[in-house]
Amino acid sequence: MKSARVIFKDGIPFSPEFDDIYFNADGPIGQSEYVFNSVFDEIWEKKSEFNVLETGFGAGLNFLCAFKRFKNSDKFLNFVSIEKTPIARDDLAKIYVNFSELADVSGELLDAYPPLIHGFHRLNLAPNVTLTLCFGDVEEVLDELSFIADAVFMDGFAPAKNEAMWSERVCAKIANLCAPGAAVCTYSASGALKRALQDSGFEVNLLKGYGKKREMLRAKFAGERQARSEIWFSRFDPASRAVPKSALVIGGGVAGCVCAFKLRQRGLDVTIAEKRGDIALNGSGNHCGILMPLITKPTVNLGRMHMNAFLQAARFYGQNLGAQEIEFCGATDYAYEQKTLERFYEWREFDADNGVFELKFDYEPYASAFIFKGAKARPRKMCKAASAGIKTLLNCEFAGFETLEGGAVRAHFKDGQSIDTDVLVLAIGSESMELFADYDIRLSSVRGQVTHIEPAVWTPAPFSAKGYVCPPAQGVQVIGATYDRNLFLDEPRSSDDEKNLADVAEFLDGKFTKSERLNLSGEQDLNLTTGSDGEAENLNRLEASSNDINLSKNTYLRAKTTGDPAQAQDASNLTAPENGSNIAAKIPQNVRIIGSKVGYRSYSGDRFPLIGRLYDEDFYKDGYKSLLWTKGKSNPHPKYVPNVYASTAHGSRGLCTAVLGAELICDLIFDRPLCIEKSLFDELHLARFLVRKLKKGLK
């Protein structure tokens, strides 16, 4: 998106677009403390956690002053700031040079500063401080916020220079986010602003201004918040207001381990319960995977959600995991089909310089998007690192739960034991179909098989086309993955290995032939026949999709090379191509399969994950049974199962969306602002499939 043009006048940043300075030249830190952050002195003893809304992030001085105040305290700060034209990171760094007293906090902000792409950006800058930067138009962003603010900082350019930031509509939208008694702080003393605030339910007073400024406004919300539309997707649950001390996470995959990590970070006593003999043995147990977003057309909600999730995931893993778990080497998404190419062209027109990926239309063998923060991930190692130090119960299969008086939850297990907890999180992946069988939720389990080969494609970074290829790790290169909905077969199939290799055949230079398949121990597996109807069907599909496949019982998979024996390479002696950016690279002559892994993933019917509170199915069916006729009228507040949450149906991009799921669950538990737009939160809501039916008059 467009960044702000900043010039400096006598050392003070100035906006030519708005013909105004970013902050007062006469003691900007003093102004921030006097006008804005002094509000904390008034409410400090009343709460342990504070939600702040700011219109106009600008140079970020108000936030930095608040960050410094909260950083070493026992209080929590959740700061949301809106900015339509954000300042580029390099310009912010120039501004912060003059504020040595903020060096510790400004450095942390710069390290985490997001790419300038439209949307919400959650930055966890300290265990007790979150910043949600919202890049976009102020009115549009206010409609996408869902939280209760304790204080509001109105700090846009002067009303005479930027009238849209101070309008009656903006004031009304702010009022709808305010807690009773919430303070609005601003340097402005505009009469129009005073009237707009009064009309929106605020009591307004004139106070002495800072420095040479004679007056400023301070307002207190005394009105009533208006009910939001589509109340059935409300995030709020009055029955879950008690501050929790313990949490039980069901499932030891990426979604469960990351959620457990974040809940422990908030101070909860966390336990993970896993049905298998170790964590990360199902879909999260792959030898390697790719961290990269799903790139859709720019305004498609599914793609917007994935972009938010990817950026959160990259920040989280970068802050908390090491190179043994994840390597940020970038990743390439190839436009191997027309619809992907069309998406890339739309992005070029919409926001080519988005800071997340670079489009390359003259790339071989396809146009591509290089994702700067893409990564080669080691999912099982990531789960181990995230769950380190957290009590983990293995061979502990979940059977169900009951809610207790006072809001606690009792989880039952198939071995007869039970555990009481303040918060229950269901992160059970492919087992979700059984758990939610009595709910109107569209779910399916998908069997995926990846193929392990001796290193055969030289690539410094993972890439995805019809299939995907990871750089080698510990002598193994992972290629994947098949997609078989509702197929339950734990044993690998040779036909699936062939399918995986066929899907990346262009990177293996076209043709290959069937070989013996070896397991990871190096022992030969000679059972190469298509021993079931399912395998035969898969082989037919494989042969129909590629004329280059030639099945035989040779010892190796032979990749076509230049024909010059001098250019043939052994798998143990790979060399980089002359052009290091060309990942379609030199191929060794022999491609050998050394193993396979089968895992199961959970998908929803609309490809969005299921994240949030578990809703009361009976209440929804009764309370909203007339939505076909009443969806535009007043409806009751939804009812949820107290203190029970879900993070599941993450599909094949769970490395990204698992972090979003964990962050959103923390937002709900602790009444923080949402880390994602409300319209996208609604797309993740567990009741969405039922609500769609009820809106159509279906039972």
Interval 1-33: pLDDT, tens:
989 999 998 889 999 999 999 998 889 999 999
Residue given tokens 């120039």 in the structure block:
94
**Cα–Cα distance measured from residue 672 to residue 120, given in angstroms and rounded to the nearest whole number:** 14
Query: CB neighbours of 567 closer than 8 A, spacing ≥ 6?
Result: 561, 586
- Report the DSSP beta bridge partners of residue 121: 133
Name the more confident of 403 and 579. 403
Q: Is the pLDDT of residue 585 over 50?
A: no
Mean pLDDT within 589-597: 84
Q: Please give the CATH topology (third level) of the domain spanning 446-509+591-600.
A: D-Amino Acid Oxidase; Chain A, domain 2 (3.30.9)
**Torsion sign over Cα 7, 11, 13, 19:** negative
pLDDT of residue 303: 98
Name the more confident of 665 and 552. 665
- Buried/exposed 527-553: b ≥16 CB within 10 Å, e otherwise: eeebeeeebeebbeebeeebeebeeee
Q: Are 530 and 536 in contact (CB under 8 A)?
A: yes
Mean pLDDT within 433-437: 92
pLDDT of residue 550: 28
**C-beta atoms surrounding 414 within 10 Å:** 12
- Report the DSSP beta bridge partners of residue 443: 604
Q: Are 148 and 51 in contact (CB under 8 A)?
A: yes
Helices (H) and strands (E) in the chain, counts: 20, 38
**Cα–Cα distance measured from residue 505 to residue 507, given in angstroms and rounded to the nearest whole number:** 5
Q: Would you call 437 exposed, middle or buried from its count of C-beta atoms within 10 A (0-12, 13-18, 19+)?
A: exposed
DSSP-derived pairing of the beta strands 129-135 and 76-83:
parallel
For the chain, give every domain's residue range. 7-221, 246-320+378-442+605-620+641-677, 331-372, 446-509+591-600
**Cα–Cα distance measured from residue 638 to residue 234, given in angstroms and rounded to the nearest whole number:** 7
Q: Is the pLDDT of residue 555 over 60?
A: no
Written as one string, the DSSP assignment of 609-640 is: -EEEEEE-HHHHHHHTTTHHHHTTS--PPP-E
Q: Is the pLDDT of residue 531 over 90?
A: no
- Report the DSSP beta bridge partners of residue 103: none
Q: Is the pLDDT of residue 237 over 90?
A: no
pLDDT of residue 77: 98
Which helix (H) or strand (E) is 198 found in, with range?
Answer: helix 191-199
Residue 240 confidence class, pLDDT cut points 50, 70, 90? low
Q: Are 175 and 200 in contact (CB under 8 A)?
A: yes
pLDDT of residue 107: 97
Sheet holding 391-393, edge to edge: 391-393, 269-273, 246-250, 423-426, 640-648, 610-615
**Cα–Cα distance measured from residue 65 to residue 95, given in angstroms and rounded to the nearest whole number:** 15
Query: CB neighbours of 378 closer than 8 A, spacing ≥ 6?
Result: 287, 288, 289, 324, 325, 326, 473
pLDDT of residue 642: 95
**Torsion sign over Cα 374, 378, 384, 385:** negative
DSSP E strand boundaries for 422-505:
423-426, 443-453, 463-464, 468-469, 477-480, 484-485
Name the more confident of 567 and 188. 188
Q: Are 220 and 183 in contact (CB under 8 A)?
A: yes
Structure tokens given for 467: 């299939």
Q: pLDDT of 70-109, one tens digit each?
A: 999 999 999 999 999 999 999 999 999 999 999 999 999 9
Mean pLDDT within 525-546: 34
Q: Are 207 and 218 in contact (CB under 8 A)?
A: yes
pLDDT of residue 363: 80
Q: pLDDT of 353-391, one tens digit each?
A: 999 999 999 888 899 999 999 999 999 999 999 999 999
Which helix (H) or strand (E) is 15 found in, with range?
Answer: strand 12-15
Closest CA to 430 of 309, 272, 600, 596: 600
- Between the alpha carbon of residue 80 and those of residues 54, 135, 171, 391, the distances in Å are 6, 11, 16, 34
Which helix (H) or strand (E) is 175 found in, with range?
Answer: helix 168-175
Angle separating helix axes 103-112 and 89-96, nearest 10 degrees: 170
φ, ψ of residue 676 in degrees (nearest 5) = -145, 160
**Averaged confidence pLDDT in the chain:** 88
Residue given tokens 């055969």 in the structure block:
456
Q: Is the pLDDT of residue 684 over 70?
A: yes
pLDDT of residue 552: 26
**C-beta atoms surrounding 615 within 10 Å:** 26
- Buried/exposed 648-664: b ≥16 CB within 10 Å, e otherwise: bbbbbbbbbbbbbbbbb
SS3 at position 110: helix
pLDDT of residue 511: 36
**Cα–Cα distance measured from residue 522 to residue 532, given in angstroms and rounded to the nearest whole number:** 25
pLDDT of residue 631: 67
pLDDT of residue 698: 86
Residue 472 confidence class, pLDDT cut points 50, 70, 90? very high
Q: Are 401 and 358 in contact (CB under 8 A)?
A: no
Q: Is the pLDDT of residue 262 over 90?
A: yes
Q: Where are the alpha helices (DSSP H) in 379-526?
A: 379-387, 432-435, 494-503
Q: Are 290 and 375 in contact (CB under 8 A)?
A: yes
- Between the alpha carbon of residue 41 and those of residues 44, 155, 307, 435, 580, the distances in Å are 5, 19, 38, 48, 56
Q: Would you call 473 exposed, middle or buried from its count of C-beta atoms within 10 A (0-12, 13-18, 19+)?
A: middle
Query: Does the 7-221 domain belong in CATH 3.60.15.10?
Result: no
Q: Would you call 241 exposed, middle or buried from its count of C-beta atoms within 10 A (0-12, 13-18, 19+)?
A: exposed
pLDDT of residue 241: 67
Please state which of the four CATH numbers 3.50.50.60, 3.40.50.2020, 3.30.70.1450, 2.30.30.230 is assigned to the domain occupying 246-320+378-442+605-620+641-677.
3.50.50.60
Mean pLDDT within 64-73: 97
Q: Is the pLDDT of residue 549 over 60?
A: no
pLDDT of residue 10: 85
Residue 503 confidence class, pLDDT cut points 50, 70, 90? very high
**Cα–Cα distance measured from residue 578 to residue 601, given in angstroms and rounded to the nearest whole number:** 39
Mean pLDDT within 289-298: 97
